[in-house]
């Protein structure tokens, strides 16, 4: 005979406002097998949990239903509390009367009725719950870090310093990411490369870090503690074990006019190239698309001049299999391109010339113009004719916060870097004048607002609140037509250079990776965290963590903080030799199983196999399905293909679900 | 101050059962809550690990126990937490829905959707839309009649045979 206790939480006012909790408790008491029910202001608080524990002991409860928030929020909390009373934690279920009832409905009578229904469902379910034993699985003490930007580097270094092995994967030829492209950083104006490159070097030389550059993640299988990852090391056509990085190949390459990705198209590079002088590893890569030899079958100039014979034109992609226990995703961001042919399929900005005018550039390009290692060696010269621009107009929120372009979010860092740009520009071109068109200044952060004020007050940047409607060329000048909404007037500025603070967007190729990893993403393709406030680093896939701008636009301090947080999570995971996993796995009723094998084909994890049942003489009686509990992830796909209903899923058994449905409408 | 919205009283309030997967739609429904979006209170959510777990028997059972409409929702294609579950669900659902159509059940009563964990707004809109559609269709009586007829323990009066005239 089941003895169920129902505990209804008011969640302060959150549930109590639209659901009459005392009615829910009273109605629950009338349900069959419910021997105790109560409502309380905060069930998750210490007194609330004590209440649950006391009631279990006092009333000899065999099952508990907590009617409160989503199980994704507090199921663990309550199961832990239940466990302390020696009742199995799996005999505790939650009725979600907050996220899926009180917060989404307005009519108190109907919401209360729904809450009672949800409690009844869970009472029926919990009656049929069985005490389960958590499954223990071993942990591979190695982590994979995807992405070699500042977030990836920080996470890898922190994990490696915690004495765990790290495999770091970067898809481009060098680590460093976008931070390596920056000139100086806000709000301290310290040189970006000076703080980054030492970290890049130590990531490469750390004894616990194995670095794979020019490598992508091909496939990921497995689960927390036991991921099997295949990496595809793309052919560089340079043997990285022989190459010394002398750079003679770059000098001798006849192709010299290829636009450099690192310099955002403002500089040139040869077909065999090291992306930038401080690249890690300092090993060139051949751009197969543009190499004369690969195009015409003749040249091999680099091979001739390489005195170590490191050039290997016959190199092919290499596949590397690794086992890891945890994964940190730090794939970063891409800048929104105002051009017509946008990668993400977002419309360009026709009113800003669709990126066709060389003097309308984006912020990352301006960053390269400011950088001492950039194409102009740090002198601000405009791309069209190399003239020093005397009037520069900066436009904020290009793409960001613009519903028409499909990016309603704030890119967060543009206010700050634009202020930095105006300052750096003023420091380099003393007679120059910077104008900034902005919507709002969002300078939340330590010393951030002071920094913007400094740009305005000390370096004389003129801030105009409003949007720019059109930019067009008139001879030597770019005419910027915009509105100053504070003075209510139209503004027309003849500029030499226009810098667009374009939106931070998700990596264009993030979706296939997210799908390989089983990590969710939002409509802008930024990866989703497990909980926006309390689990900002975890994802819904256990053992996979996020760091940096792959989750949302972030500045460097935030990316570093999140990377370190992810590293702490990985180290925590690796500190255990065994992990406990929820025992929601499928099981086979061998007596009715006909051995048809449908489930074997349906199982996404290859967890099901044939098992021969033999009699004492060793004669085969029949074949049945056998489920490897270590591999089973509990999706239940096998259940629904089973014709004889010979498989059941612990935690979501047919009996449980059917009784839920049966009690839906009474 | 929040605006007081007048609730419209309908003659008929349908019972909607939603079978959702834990990873995408259940989380999406939670997001609708955290974003305080409003939708019709007619829906009762049944949480399952994956849409691949949804046996058509569950859907039939839902109708049998008094649902006027059934909604199945899971992760978008390729986004399944279990890699393939939603594809299995999609196949099974397509066939099952045609079968229901064949036996004369209005297929507007059974709907399928992809709602990701980030689509709280889509969930709210979907529930309201399904509820409104089913409300227009009215109560689902034919299934109940079929099950009443087909259950052996409920013996019905045999209908008198019509006289055959030559």
Q: What is the mean pLDDT of the segment spanning A460-476?
A: 94
Chain A residues with CB-CB distance to B15 below 8 A: 664-665
Please give the Cα distance from A64 to A127 (Å, whole number): 9
Q: What is the mean pLDDT of the segment spanning B54-62?
A: 91
Under the banding of pLDDT at 50, 70 and 90, the label for residue A301 is very high
Please give the Cα distance from A573 to B77 (Å, whole number): 30
pLDDT tens digits for range A11-36: 999 999 999 999 999 999 999 999 99
Please give the Cα distance from B40 to B139 (Å, whole number): 17
Architecture field, domain A586-649? 2-Layer Sandwich (3.30)
Residue A383 has pLDDT above 90, yes or no: yes
Residue of A560, A551, A474 whose CA lies nearest to A506: A551
* Joined tokens for residue B129: 């839309």
**Looking at CA atoms only, how far is residue A135 from chain B in angstroms?**
17
Whether residue A664 and residue B52 make contact (CB cut-off 8 A), yes or no, is no
Residue A344 has pLDDT above 60, yes or no: no
Whether residue B88 and residue A640 make contact (CB cut-off 8 A), yes or no, is yes
Among A98-102, A404-408, A446-450, whose mean pLDDT is lowest?
A: A404-408
Give the chain B residue whose CA is nearest to the CA of A641. Answer: B55
Residue A666 C-beta-side C-alpha neighbours within 13 Å: 18
pLDDT at B145: 67
Dmax over CA atoms of chain A, in Å, equals 99
Whether residue B58 and residue A652 make contact (CB cut-off 8 A), yes or no, is no
Residue A497 has pLDDT above 90, yes or no: yes
A637: Cβ–Cβ under 8 A, 6 or more apart, which residues? A602, A603, A604, B50, B52, B53, B82, B84, B85, B88
Instruction: Give the domain ranges of chain A.
Output: 4-127, 142-234+317-332+507-574, 248-305, 336-505, 586-649
The answer as to CATH 1.20.1300 being correct for domain A4-127 is: no
> For the CA atoms of chain B, what is the radius of gyration?
19
pLDDT tens digits for range A559-585: 999 999 999 999 999 998 888 888 899
pLDDT at A333: 96
Cis status, amide bond into A487, omega within 30 of 0: no
State pTM to two decimals.
0.81
Of A117, A540, A633, which is closest to B44 when you measure between CB atoms? A117
**Looking at CA atoms only, how far is residue A349 from chain B in angstroms?**
28
- Dihedral sign of CA atoms A203, A205, A210, A213 in order: positive
**Looking at CA atoms only, how far is residue B78 from chain A in angstroms?**
6
ipTM, interface predicted TM-score of the complex: 0.86
Task: Tell me whether residue A601 is exposed, middle or buried, using C-beta atoms within 10 angstroms of its C-beta: 0 to 12, 13 to 18, 19 or more.
Answer: exposed
Under the banding of pLDDT at 50, 70 and 90, the label for residue B6 is low
The per-residue pLDDT of chain A, averaged, comes to: 93
* Joined tokens for residue B115: 């709602």
Please give the Cα distance from A639 to A464 (Å, whole number): 63
Residue A74 Cα distances to A66, A134, A148, B33, angstroms: 10, 18, 35, 15
Residue B117 has pLDDT above 70, yes or no: yes
pLDDT at A276: 93
Residue A581 Cα distances to A136, A454, A629, B54, angstroms: 6, 53, 11, 23
Query: Token pair 């008094």 is at which residue?
Result: B66
Whether residue A114 and residue B41 make contact (CB cut-off 8 A), yes or no, is yes
pLDDT at B163: 60
B16 vs A: CB within 8 A:
no
Residue ranges of domains in chain B, CATH in brackets = 16-150 (3.40.50)
Among A346-355, A485-494, A626-635, whose mean pLDDT is lowest?
A: A346-355
Under the banding of pLDDT at 50, 70 and 90, the label for residue A651 is very high
Please give the Cα distance from B114 to B97 (Å, whole number): 16
Asked if domains A4-127 and A336-505 share a fold, the reply is no
**Helices and strands in chain A, H and E counts:** 17, 34
* Joined tokens for residue A570: 């990985």
pLDDT tens digits for range A168-218: 999 999 999 999 999 999 999 999 999 999 999 999 999 999 999 999 999
Residue B2 has pLDDT above 50, yes or no: no
pLDDT tens digits for range A529-552: 988 888 899 998 889 999 999 999
Residue A114 has pLDDT above 70, yes or no: yes
Residues above pLDDT 70, as percent of chain A: 99
Query: Token pair 């709602």 is at which residue?
Result: B115
Residue A362 C-beta-side C-alpha neighbours within 13 Å: 22
pLDDT at A347: 67
Residue A4 has pLDDT above 60, yes or no: yes
B146 vs A: CB within 8 A:
no
Which CATH code fits A336-505? Answer: 3.50.50.60
Q: What is the mean pLDDT of the segment spanning A425-447?
A: 95
Under the banding of pLDDT at 50, 70 and 90, the label for residue B1 is very low
CATH class of A142-234+317-332+507-574: alpha beta
Please give the Cα distance from A136 to A143 (Å, whole number): 20
- Dihedral sign of CA atoms A363, A367, A370, A375 in order: negative
Among A68-72, A660-664, B161-165, whose mean pLDDT is lowest?
A: B161-165
Size of interface A-B (CB pairs under 8 A): 147
pLDDT tens digits for range A603-621: 988 889 999 999 999 999 9
């Amino acid at each position: 005979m089941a003895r169920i206790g129902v505990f209804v939480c008011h969640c302060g006012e959150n549930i109590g406002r639209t659901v009459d909790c005392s009615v829910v408790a009273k109605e629950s008491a009338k349900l069959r097998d419910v021997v105790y029910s109560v409502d309380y202001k905060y069930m998750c608080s210490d007194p609330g949990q004590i209440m649950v524990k006391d009631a279990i002991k006092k009333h000899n409860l065999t099952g508990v239903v907590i009617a409160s928030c989503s199980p994704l929020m507090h199921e663990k909390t309550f199961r832990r509390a239940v466990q302390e009373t020696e009742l199995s934690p799996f005999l505790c279920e939650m009725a979600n009367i907050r996220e899926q009832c009180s917060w989404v409905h307005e009519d108190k009578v109907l919401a209360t009725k729904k809450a009672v229904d949800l409690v009844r469902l869970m009472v029926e379910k919990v009656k049929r719950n069985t005490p389960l034993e958590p499954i223990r699985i071993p942990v591979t003490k190695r982590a994979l870090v995807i992405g070699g930007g500042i977030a990836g580097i920080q996470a890898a270094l922190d994990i490696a310093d915690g004495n765990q092995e790290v495999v770091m994967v970067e898809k481009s030829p060098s680590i460093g990411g976008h931070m390596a492209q920056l000139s100086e950083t806000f709000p301290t104006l310290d040189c970006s490369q000076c703080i980054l490159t030492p970290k890049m070097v130590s990531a490469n030389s750390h004894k616990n870090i194995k670095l794979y550059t020019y490598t992508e993640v091909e496939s990921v299988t497995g689960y927390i503690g036991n991921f099997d990852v295949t990496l595809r090391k793309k052919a560089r056509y340079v043997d990285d074990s022989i190459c010394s990085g002398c750079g003679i190949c770059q000098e001798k390459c006849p192709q010299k006019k290829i636009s450099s990705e690192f310099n955002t198209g403002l500089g040139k590079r040869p077909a065999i190239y090291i992306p930038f002088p401080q690249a890690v590893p300092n090993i060139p890569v051949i751009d197969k698309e543009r190499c004369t030899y690969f195009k015409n079958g003749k040249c091999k100039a680099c091979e001739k001049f390489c005195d170590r014979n490191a050039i290997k034109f016959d190199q092919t992609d290499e596949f590397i299999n690794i086992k890891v226990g945890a994964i940190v995703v730090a794939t970063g961001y891409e800048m929104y391109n105002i051009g017509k042919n946008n990668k993400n399929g977002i419309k360009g900005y026709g009113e800003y010339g669709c990126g066709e005018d060389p003097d309308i550039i984006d912020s990352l390009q301006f960053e390269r113009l400011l950088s001492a290692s950039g194409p102009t060696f740090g002198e601000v010269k405009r791309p069209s004719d190399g003239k020093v621009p005397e009037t520069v107009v900066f436009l904020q929120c290009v793409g960001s916060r613009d519903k028409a372009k499909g990016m309603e979010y704030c890119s967060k860092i543009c206010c700050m870097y634009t202020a930095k740009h105006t300052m750096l520009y003023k420091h380099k071109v003393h007679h120059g004048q910077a104008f900034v068109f902005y919507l709002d200044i969002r300078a939340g952060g330590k010393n951030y607002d002071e920094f913007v004020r400094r740009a305005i007050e000390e370096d004389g940047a003129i801030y105009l609140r409003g949007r720019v409607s059109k930019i067009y060329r008139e001879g030597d000048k770019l005419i910027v037509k915009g509105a100053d909404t504070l003075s209510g007037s139209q503004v027309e500025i003849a500029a030499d250079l226009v810098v667009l603070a374009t939106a931070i967007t998700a990596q264009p190729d993030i979706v296939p990776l997210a799908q390989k990893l089983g990590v969710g993403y939002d409509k802008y393709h930024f990866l989703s965290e497990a909980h926006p406030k309390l689990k900002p680093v975890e994802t819904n896939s256990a053992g996979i963590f996020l760091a940096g701008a792959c989750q949302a636009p972030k500045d460097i301090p935030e990316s570093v903080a999140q990377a370190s947080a992810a590293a702490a999570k990985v180290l925590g995971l690796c500190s255990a030799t065994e992990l406990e996993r929820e025992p929601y796995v499928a099981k086979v009723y061998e007596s009715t199983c006909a051995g048809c094998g449908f489930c074997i084909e349906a199982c996404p994890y290859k967890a099901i196999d044939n098992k021969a049942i033999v009699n004492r003489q060793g004669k085969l009686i029949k074949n049945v399905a056998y489920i490897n509990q270590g591999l089973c992830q509990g999706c239940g796909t096998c259940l629904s293909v089973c014709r004889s209903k010979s498989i059941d899923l612990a935690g979501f058994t047919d009996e449980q679900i059917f009784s839920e449905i049966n009690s839906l409408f009474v | 101050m929040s605006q007081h919205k007048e609730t419209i009283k309908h003659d008929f309030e349908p019972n909607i059962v939603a079978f959702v997967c834990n990873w995408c739609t259940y989380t999406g429904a939670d997001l609708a809550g955290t974003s305080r979006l409003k939708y019709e209170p007619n829906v009762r959510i049944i949480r399952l690990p994956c849409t691949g777990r949804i046996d058509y028997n569950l859907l039939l059972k839902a109708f049998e126990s008094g649902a006027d409409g059934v909604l199945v929702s899971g992760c978008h294609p390729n986004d399944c937490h279990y890699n393939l579950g939603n594809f299995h669900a999609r196949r099974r659902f397509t066939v099952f829905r045609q079968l229901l159509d064949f036996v004369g059940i209005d297929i507007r009563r059974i709907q399928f959707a992809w709602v990701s964990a980030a689509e709280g707004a889509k969930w709210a809109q979907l529930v309201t839309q399904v509820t409104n559609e089913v409300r227009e269709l009215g109560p689902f009586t034919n299934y109940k009649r079929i099950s009443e007829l087909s259950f052996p323990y409920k013996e019905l009066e045999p209908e008198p045979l019509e006289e055959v005239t030559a």
